[in-house]
């Protein structure tokens, strides 16, 4: 299937590793040009070097997506290089884990900046051009936590649900302009972040990494973690020409973990 992504310009946030990197790499493999960001110079340059092997243009920008000035600089760099953004993939690191009692006002504010304001600000920047060209794709990397709360993830569970409401409302507002807005929900996927989480839980509970994984496997009908490339395959489809009639959807890539009907 030709996804129709050749020569499209995609801005993928938080893409030095993990899911963001996998999505950027998949889009480049399909012929898209990329603007990618993360906070560290070395990491984002290394990622860009690897993605360039697909032969498309890749611009690496050091930017903290929780910082509005960095977001503006990121968008301006994309426009300076390509003159447009056809596809926006929002992403970030996960907010800190914790229950209600451990989260103070400043932690809530920081998580709101990271998970909500970053998406809203970037959307505000890319949307006018997408509407003008009558073509655009906005895809938010959220979490299965937006469909089924995960224990100890108060910030993620709360704010991703808020983002889902934002995206669904926006999807309806811009649908007639040829712009789709969707969410893609990772389940337990084998990224560096998950490996760190395995180490953390193992140390905290004095159990082996294999025991941590076994516990997760028991919750997942497929009995294994997901691979970033399995996630990236759906992401590439959702931002493609071929997904032109899908908008306002939240689709999990979770091996069956989410127990809800929809
Ligand atoms: P990861 O830690 O492997 O990668 C995160 C990427 O984000 C890195 O490139 C990092 O440099 C970048 N980053 C972090 N904070 C940033 C910031 N403020 N500004 C710019 N870049 C920033 O994580 P991942 O596993 O790829 O997860 C991506 C998202 O998906 C997270 O929000 C995570 O909570 C969510 N998620 C992941 C899983 C999973 O199993 N991997 C499951 C559910 C949800």
Domain span at 220: 191-225
Q: Is residue 262 part of a domain?
A: no
Asked whether residue 94 falls in the same domain as residue 208, the answer is: no
Closest atom of ligand 1 to 43 CA is 11
Asked whether residue 198 falls in the same domain as residue 112, the answer is: no
Indicate the SS3 state at residue 148. coil
Asked whether residue 70 falls in the same domain as residue 101, the answer is: yes
Asked whether residue 171 falls in the same domain as residue 41, the answer is: yes
How many CA atoms are closer than 13 Å to the CA of 14, on its beta-carbon side? 21
DSSP state of 98: B
Q: Is residue 34 part of a domain?
A: yes
Asked whether residue 95 falls in the same domain as residue 208, the answer is: no
191 lines ligand 1 (CB under 6 A): yes
The number of folded domains in the chain is 2
Q: What is the per-residue pLDDT for 110?
A: 98
Asked whether residue 86 falls in the same domain as residue 203, the answer is: no
- CA of 40 from ligand 1 middle (Å) equals 14
Q: What is the per-residue pLDDT for 201?
A: 86
Asked whether residue 178 falls in the same domain as residue 195, the answer is: no
Q: What is the per-residue pLDDT for 204?
A: 84
Q: Could you tell me the CATH number of the domain that includes residue 149?
A: 3.40.50.720
Q: Is residue 258 part of a domain?
A: no
Q: Is residue 158 part of a domain?
A: yes
Q: Whose CA is nearest to atom 2 of ligand 1?
A: 193
- Between strands 250-253 and 33-38, the pairing is unpaired
Q: Is residue 220 part of a domain?
A: yes
| Predicted TM-score of the model (pTM) | 0.98
Asked whether residue 18 falls in the same domain as residue 87, the answer is: yes
> What is the dihedral angle through the alpha carbons of 9, 137, 110, 203, rounded to the nearest 10 degrees?
-90
Instruction: Give pLDDT tens digits along the chain (262 positions).
Output: 999 999 999 999 999 999 999 999 999 999 999 999 999 999 999 999 999 999 999 999 999 999 999 999 999 999 999 999 999 999 999 999 889 999 999 999 999 999 999 999 999 999 999 999 999 999 999 999 999 999 889 999 999 999 999 999 999 999 999 999 999 999 999 999 898 888 888 888 999 999 999 999 999 999 999 999 999 999 999 999 999 999 999 999 999 999 998 8
Q: Is residue 181 part of a domain?
A: yes
Is 54 in contact with 29 (CB distance < 8 Å)?
A: yes
Closest atom of ligand 1 to 94 CA is 34
Extract the runs of DSSP E, i.e. beta strands, from the chain: 9-12, 33-38, 58-62, 87-90, 136-141, 179-186, 250-253
Asked whether residue 123 falls in the same domain as residue 199, the answer is: no
Q: Residues 6 or more apart from 84 whose CB is under 8 A from it?
A: 9, 129, 133
Asked whether residue 157 falls in the same domain as residue 207, the answer is: no
Asked whether residue 15 falls in the same domain as residue 119, the answer is: yes
Q: Is residue 108 part of a domain?
A: yes
90 lines ligand 1 (CB under 6 A): no
């Amino acid at each position: 299937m030709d996804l129709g992504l050749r020569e499209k310009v995609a801005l993928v946030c938080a893409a030095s590793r993990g899911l963001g990197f996998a999505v950027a790499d998949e889009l480049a493999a399909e012929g898209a040009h990329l603007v990618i960001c993360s906070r560290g110079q070395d990491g984002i340059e290394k990622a860009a070097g690897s993605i360039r092997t697909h032969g498309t243009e890749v611009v690496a920008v050091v930017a903290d997506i929780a910082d509005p000035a960095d977001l503006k600089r990121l968008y301006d760099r994309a426009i300076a290089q390509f003159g447009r953004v056809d596809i926006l993939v929002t992403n970030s690191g996960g907010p800190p884990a914790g229950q209600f009692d451990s989260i103070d006002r400043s932690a809530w504010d920081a998580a709101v900046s990271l998970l909500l304001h970053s998406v809203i600000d970037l959307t505000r920047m890319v949307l006018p051009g997408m509407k003008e060209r009558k073509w655009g794709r906005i895809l938010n990397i959220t979490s299965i936590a937006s469909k089924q709360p995960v224990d100890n993830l108060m910030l993620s569970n709360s704010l991703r649900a808020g983002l889902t409401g934002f995206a669904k409302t926006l999807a309806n507002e811009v649908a007639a302009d040829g712009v789709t807005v969707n969410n893609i929900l990772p389940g337990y996927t084998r990224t560096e972040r998950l490996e760190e989480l395995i180490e953390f839980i193992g140390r905290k509970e004095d159990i082996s990494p294999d025991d941590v994984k076994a516990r997760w496997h028991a919750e997942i009908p497929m009995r294994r973690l997901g691979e970033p490339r399995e996630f990236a395959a759906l992401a590439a489809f959702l931002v493609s020409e071929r997904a032109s009639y899908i908008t306002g959807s939240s689709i999990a890539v979770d091996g069956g973990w989410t127990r809800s009907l929809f």
